[in-house]
Amino acid sequence: MIETRGGFLISQIKQIQGRVFARLLTESGIDEFNGAQGRVLYVLWQEDNLPIVELAARTGLAKTTLTGMLDRMESLGHIKRCYDSEDRRQIRIRLTKSARRLEKKYRQVSDEMSRLFYKGFSEKEILKLDLQLEKVLKNLEEEERKI
């Protein structure tokens, strides 16, 4: 097999992306949430009222990590936990009105992050990269399900 660096590069990208995104949030005056919490909010802005298991799957966060994050987000007034009306054992996560008001500011920072991420790429290259990364993600998700 040829020597590869994909995993190493993805890890570096993730680390640097987190720092750059945090800086962009600060520069934009967003102090209501951090980058990781923004990822949870982003998923809920796409579809609110999700079970914790589904939220974990969509964010890629472990349920234990997500639970602590949700505790902090609930204390900040961004989300609320609600029992499912059909299955009281299941808890759903809902956005608060204050969290909904943050979406526009977040999208502006997210758009800037995308511009930085894909700087110098053609549209064709962007689509190809996204497809390749989705394939890597799918491969890893399949492996994780074996655990």
Contact 64, 76 (CB under 8 A): no
Q: Nearest-CA neighbor of 51 among 94, 86, 99, 98? A: 94
- Strands 91-95 and 79-83 turn out to be antiparallel
Q: Where do runs of H (alpha helix) occur along 28-122?
A: 35-46, 52-59, 63-75, 97-100, 103-117
Quick: pLDDT tens for 93-130.
999 999 999 999 899 999 999 999 999 999 999 999 99
pTM of the model: 0.80
Q: Is 98 helix (H, G, I), strand (E, B) or coil?
A: helix
What is the band of 63 on the pLDDT scale with cuts at 50, 70, 90?
confident
Please check the confidence at residue 89 and state whether its pLDDT lies above 90: no
